[in-house]
Structure 1
Amino acid sequence: MLTPPGPASIPTRWGTGKHVDIKNVFVLGLDELNAETLNALPHAEEYRFHQLLTPDELRTQDIQLRHLLAAAERQLYRFEGTIDAIIGYWDFPVSSLVPILCQRFGTIGPGLEAVVKCEHKYWSRLEQRQVIDECPGFGLVDPQKATTPPPHLEYPLWVKPVKSAGSTLAYHVHDQHEFQRAMRLLRDGVGWLGEPFQYILDHLHAPAGIAASGQGCLVEEAVSGTQVTVEGYVQHGAVHVYGVVGSVGYPGRESFLRFQYPAALPANVTERLTQVTTRVIGHIGLDHSTFNIEFFWNEENDTLTLLEINPRHSQSHARLFQMVDGVPNHHAMVSLALGRDPALPRGNGRYRIATKWFLRRFSDARVRRAPTAEEVARVEADVPGTMIHPVAQQDQLLSALPRQDSYSYQLADLYIGAETEDELIDKYERCVAALPYELEDTADTDVENVH
């Protein structure tokens, strides 16, 4: 359960004959799913997790950084107990609020400038280029003015805001016509995160060309291969990698089908990923923080390409680490914030491999029928090692869902553990077949059963 704002009613706990200090840990945007995972951490009896602002307050279409910061500060100042840690696992604005609040309330956390160097896609590329060769050609454009990409780049290209979340407003373009269409879409949408991100940039001493670019767009050469995510943390300047997660796309689509842990990679590729990660994170100066870095590995020519750096761990992967290693990756985040050892175990979980599947629809629709809580529980009971989290709700228009990628709409997340990949796929197909979604196409009255 979520702990509501207010004074700590139990400052200490007794149970084993010794005094145990309860640490008050404030979690920006704490939700029920992650609260359950956090409470499964080792030594969870020593923590009290408090929701700091609600997910609805933080994940809105009108992000007012100044107001969010003031609301968070009010809640913290009114708290009568100790403030031992301030953490968050969501993307912007949470990722920027964490270092600001940690600095103001004297808790352990990363520096704001290092976080922004990771999150600002163009600034991050400039930093990466100083220490590694594993990045594509790139450039910066103003979507309000640009009609062509930078002249040194060749199609196909990716165009995306310098600050985005969850692949929102990211477009794969193959020619001039598609580039200009992407610019039109970005002109209307880039301000959603761009305006509040500019507020953060205004409070940093960013270099020329970066300071006023909060609503700019990164253009970079498209690369291909197996997409993987390196998960790790940095403490006192020492970079540690604790896992690599594979990303599998829908065939012929730009959207993810599933995340799979551990990724099926040769040992030498994992070692190279670790080396590149260590150089980049060390150069940027991120410290006392979890991170995840997305890469492409092209098996044909055995090359790595760094896609992006996130100065936080992925909450999407928490259940996967819990299933395979026995402890969710939230452990590193909480331990870092409390100055403890963030190391995670290996292979202590119930399953050999685990996945997060994304059940998607690739055209808009209204949800005529969504699974009830009882129906979801029945499927989970019938298919062991599964947890289903519906995203689209009954009577909801899919295009109204927040933070979707540019090519699909998410109906549900399915977390599945198994011993083999074939077993994973079989469990997923059984779950999907049993989930009673009915969708009404927005163009006509036909109903599609998603099986």
Structure 2
Amino acid sequence: MSDRNVFVVGLDERNRERLGHLRGAENYRFHGVIEPAEVYDTEIFPIEDMLARAESQLRAFGEPIDAIVGYMDFPVSTMLPLLCEQFGTRSTSLESLLKCEHKYWSRLVQRELIADCIPRFTAFDPFDSQALQHIGEAGLYFPFFVKPIKSSGSRLGFRVDSPEDFAYAVARLCEGIGTISEPFNFILEHANLPENVRTVDGGFCMAEEIIGGWQCTVEGYVFQGEVVPYGIVDSIRYPQVLSFFYYRYPSRLPDHVQEKMQQLTRTIMTHIGYDNAAFNIEYFWDEIQDRVWLLEINTRIAQSHCDLFEKVDGLSHQQVTVDLALGQVPDMPSRQGRFQVAATFFYRVFFVDATVSRAPSAEEIEALEQRYPGTRISVQVEVGTRLSSLPEQDSYSFALAYAWMGADDDAALEENYARLAEQLHFEFEDIVG
């Protein structure tokens, strides 16, 4: 049997290493499409040019193309259905993907079936001087949350408690929304959209009722119409702020809550018509009301969870993405890893801005990784980095480093990270508090 050619949009060395450990990888050849820096380290996405170059590279390949995959949010997620359609490889349809990624369309579709599990919402034009009035007319009052119709990570998301907060959020949105709205609108031009969605393009924003509680992410896939949730990851925030502290796997949610989320997942993904692709859904559990809220649907595995599945289950859940793209039932193990629990920790500072004057050296990082077996640390800055230049940050903090760690129980995991964090030495100048 000849090797199968799998093309990965934005393939970097870390992911190439992970992919090499997958079941069946000895029979696969992984090829990169589009340089990693174009999708990882930038907020500028010339998507029309990227698609043209990707198509040119794939057409020049002299052998069969068996799969085209990716693990990133925008623009990679939205490029995949177009590329897969061009080359006859497996993917969900562009329309079903946009029913997840276009936040307004997604809420409209969700409201058709699970209205009790979503917040009140409305779309608004951030450039409209009457936007706040229109939001009120839609029945939304302070506090509420605003975010772009299409965003990436937590970028340009704001809690709004007052007219002053709204003015600040709108100013930031108007300044930054074009970097995604323009390429996202290019994608929308290729889709068959209902009229009430077509008029709400990538330049619009969402206002939503505040929801909250215990946050988690259900990782799942659809294979030939069957929706399969296979893991739930808890998302723990820093106290009193919106920034994530760590992701923990497996979830510690009560069994009945996990079952409710899995059933909602099957219901909504079937209704959307999503098929032959991976996804994840972010939920809240309001423990006081015992109520589950659906926050948003992402059309990919969460790349930040790869190490967690590897540590606990034995393999990165990239296994799911590759198997689906090759038309195979995902061969994902369960609880066969080295650790009972694992987490992705975010080492953050809560400045408005600053310049890094000291960052941990490679030798310091290596020593810490050896001190805590199974740990991997990725520092995101170097001396001279201006924090405001970092891509993909939330609106309240800067993530200076990520630490992936495993342990036998939650207490040991948190204690080990606390010790590690004390030894991650950063210094700053020109601090704007």
Q: Secondary structure at the match of 1:210?
A: helix
Note the C-alpha offset of 1:435.
2.2
Q: Which moved more, 1:260-269 or 1:29-38?
A: 29-38
Note the C-alpha offset of 1:289.
0.7
Q: Which runs of 5+ in 2 are unaligned?
A: none
Give the structure 1 partner of residue 49 of structure 2.
Answer: 67
The equivalences for 1:158-173 within 5 A come to 158-173=145-160
Partner Cα separation in structure 2 for residue 393 and residue 108 of structure 1: 40
Partner Cα separation in structure 2 for residue 78 and residue 251 of structure 1: 52
CA 1:195 to 1:150, structure 2 compared with 1: closer, same or farther past 3 Å?
farther
Given that residues 383 and 427 in structure 1 are in contact (C-alpha distance below 8 angstroms), is that contact kept between their aligned partners in structure 2? yes
Partner Cα separation in structure 1 for residue 422 and residue 39 of structure 2: 34
Partner Cα separation in structure 2 for residue 353 and residue 103 of structure 1: 39
Note the C-alpha offset of 1:281.
0.4
Partner Cα separation in structure 1 for residue 328 and residue 10 of structure 2: 23
Partner Cα separation in structure 2 for residue 280 and residue 325 of structure 1: 26
Task: Please tell me the residue identity of whatever aligns with 1:309.
Answer: I
Given that residues 23 and 331 in structure 2 are in contact (C-alpha distance below 8 angstroms), is that contact kept between their aligned partners in structure 1? no
The equivalences for 1:405-444 within 5 A come to 405-443=394-432
Tell whether 2:136 aligns with 1:153.
no
Partner Cα separation in structure 1 for residue 176 and residue 384 of structure 2: 25
Q: Secondary structure at the match of 1:107?
A: coil
Q: Aligned match of 2:102 in 98, 120, 123?
A: 120
Q: Secondary structure at the match of 2:100?
A: helix
- The CA deviation string for residues 252-279 of structure 1, in whole angstroms up to 9 with x for no partner, is 1110000000110111111100110111
Tell whether 2:298 aligns with 1:317.
no
Note the C-alpha offset of 1:443.
4.6
Give the structure 2 partner of residue 185 of structure 1.
Answer: 172
Q: Secondary structure at the match of 1:77?
A: helix
Given that residues 142 and 215 in structure 1 are in contact (C-alpha distance below 8 angstroms), is that contact kept between their aligned partners in structure 2? yes
Given that residues 259 and 355 in structure 1 are in contact (C-alpha distance below 8 angstroms), is that contact kept between their aligned partners in structure 2? yes
The equivalences for 1:259-338 within 5 A come to 259-338=247-326
- The CA deviation string for residues 371-412 of structure 1, in whole angstroms up to 9 with x for no partner, is 222221111001112111111122211110011111111101
Tell whether 2:389 aligns with 1:404.
no
Give the structure 2 partner of residue 198 of structure 1.
Answer: 185
The equivalences for 1:28-47 within 5 A come to 28-47=9-28
Note the C-alpha offset of 1:117.
1.0
Partner Cα separation in structure 2 for residue 37 and residue 375 of structure 1: 24
Tell whether 2:124 aligns with 1:135.
no
Give the structure 1 partner of residue 8 of structure 2.
Answer: 27
Task: Please tell me the residue identity of whatever aligns with 1:57.
Answer: E
Partner Cα separation in structure 2 for residue 189 and residue 411 of structure 1: 22
Q: Which moved more, 1:95-104 or 1:43-52?
A: 43-52
Task: Please tell me the residue identity of whatever aligns with 1:70.
Answer: A
CA 1:443 to 1:236, structure 2 compared with 1: closer, same or farther past 3 Å?
closer
Q: Which moved more, 1:327-336 or 1:210-219?
A: 210-219
Give the structure 2 partner of residue 56 of structure 1.
Answer: 37
Give the structure 2 partner of residue 102 of structure 1.
Answer: 84
Give the structure 2 partner of residue 389 of structure 1.
Answer: 378
Given that residues 296 and 306 in structure 1 are in contact (C-alpha distance below 8 angstroms), is that contact kept between their aligned partners in structure 2? yes
Q: Secondary structure at the match of 1:295?
A: strand
Partner Cα separation in structure 1 for residue 262 and residue 56 of structure 2: 41
Q: Which moved more, 1:191-200 or 1:433-442?
A: 433-442
Note the C-alpha offset of 1:128.
0.3
Task: Please tell me the residue identity of whatever aligns with 1:73.
Answer: E
Q: Which runs of 5+ in 1 are unaligned?
A: 1-19, 445-451
Q: Secondary structure at the match of 1:21?
A: coil
Note the C-alpha offset of 1:358.
0.3
Given that residues 150 and 184 in structure 2 are in contact (C-alpha distance below 8 angstroms), is that contact kept between their aligned partners in structure 1? yes
Given that residues 102 and 150 in structure 2 are in contact (C-alpha distance below 8 angstroms), is that contact kept between their aligned partners in structure 1? yes
Note the C-alpha offset of 1:343.
4.0
Task: Please tell me the residue identity of whatever aligns with 1:28.
Answer: V
Percent identity of paired positions between Structure 1 and Structure 2 = 45
Give the structure 2 partner of residue 244 of structure 1.
Answer: 232
Partner Cα separation in structure 1 for residue 382 and residue 326 of structure 2: 37
Partner Cα separation in structure 2 for residue 264 and residue 58 of structure 1: 33
Note the C-alpha offset of 1:205.
2.0
RMSD: 1.3
Partner Cα separation in structure 2 for residue 191 and residue 105 of structure 1: 30
Given that residues 387 and 416 in structure 1 are in contact (C-alpha distance below 8 angstroms), is that contact kept between their aligned partners in structure 2? yes
- The CA deviation string for residues 295-326 of structure 1, in whole angstroms up to 9 with x for no partner, is 00011110000000001110110110010011
Note the C-alpha offset of 1:179.
1.5
Tell whether 2:337 aligns with 1:340.
no
Q: Which moved more, 1:102-111 or 1:181-190?
A: 181-190
- The CA deviation string for residues 86-113 of structure 1, in whole angstroms up to 9 with x for no partner, is 0001001100111110010011111111
Task: Please tell me the residue identity of whatever aligns with 1:98.
Answer: L
- The CA deviation string for residues 327-358 of structure 1, in whole angstroms up to 9 with x for no partner, is 11100000000011214221111111000000
Give the structure 1 partner of residue 65 of structure 2.
Answer: 83
Task: Please tell me the residue identity of whatever aligns with 1:386.
Answer: T
Q: Secondary structure at the match of 1:209?
A: helix
Q: Which moved more, 1:339-348 or 1:56-65?
A: 56-65
Task: Please tell me the residue identity of whatever aligns with 2:145.
Answer: W
- The CA deviation string for residues 395-446 of structure 1, in whole angstroms up to 9 with x for no partner, is 21111001111111110110000011111112112222222322224359xx
Given that residues 202 and 211 in structure 1 are in contact (C-alpha distance below 8 angstroms), is that contact kept between their aligned partners in structure 2? no
Give the length in aligned residue pairs: 425
Give the structure 2 partner of residue 369 of structure 1.
Answer: 358
Q: Secondary structure at the match of 1:341?
A: coil
Higher helix fraction (1 or 2): 2
Task: Please tell me the residue identity of whatever aligns with 1:141.
Answer: F
Given that residues 366 and 397 in structure 1 are in contact (C-alpha distance below 8 angstroms), is that contact kept between their aligned partners in structure 2? yes
